[in-house]
Structure 1
Amino acid sequence: MMPLSMAKPGEPVTIHRISGKDEVRQHLAELGFVVGSEVMVVNELGGNLILQVKDSRIALDKTMASRIQF
């Protein structure tokens, strides 16, 4: 498994694991980041990742993105 921050832009990946405290995992789940869902890195800007999750685009910093493993 690799952290989401290592995913290549334009390549869809499936989430296998989310690490961190319960509050962090709950927050990511509310944004749509759940195990088994597919996400795609759209772009990387200034250390932040723009991610496509379902029909939404969400920006995460690399620290938060590194908690999501694919």
Structure 2
Amino acid sequence: MPLTFCTIGQNFILKRLSGDSAVRQHLNELGFSVGSPVTVISSLGGNVIVKVKESRIALDHKLASRIMV
């Protein structure tokens, strides 16, 4: 399920990153690695704020839809 469909406040485990290699590398540098826990803090219009590795990161709808949990 894409990160954009996740319930606010619930913990999820990252399963897969999609997109080309540059997008996957960028997400990996932000802390999104397969097997890491992710929590959606806020969601508005498909854009989300997530907590990953004790950091809060804002993602637009396009980038958040490439993260599968």
TM-score band (shorter)? over 0.9
Q: Which runs of 5+ in 1 are unaligned?
A: none
Provide the C-alpha distance between the structure 1 equivalents of 2:11 and 2:46, rounded to a whole number of angstroms: 20
Q: Which structure 2 residues correspond to residues 26-41 of structure 1 after superposition, within 5 A?
A: 26-41=25-40
Structure 2 residue aligned with 1:58:
57
Q: Which structure 2 residues correspond to residues 13-28 of structure 1 after superposition, within 5 A?
A: 13-28=12-27
Amino acid aligned to 1:27: H
Q: TM-score if structure 2 supplies the norm length?
A: 0.94
Provide the C-alpha distance between the structure 2 equivalents of 1:46 and 1:16, rounded to a whole number of angstroms: 23
RMSD, aligned α-carbons: 0.9
Per the alignment, in what secondary structure is the counterpart of residue 24 of structure 2? helix
Amino acid aligned to 2:8: P
Q: CA deviation at 1:54?
A: 1.1
Q: How many residues align?
A: 69
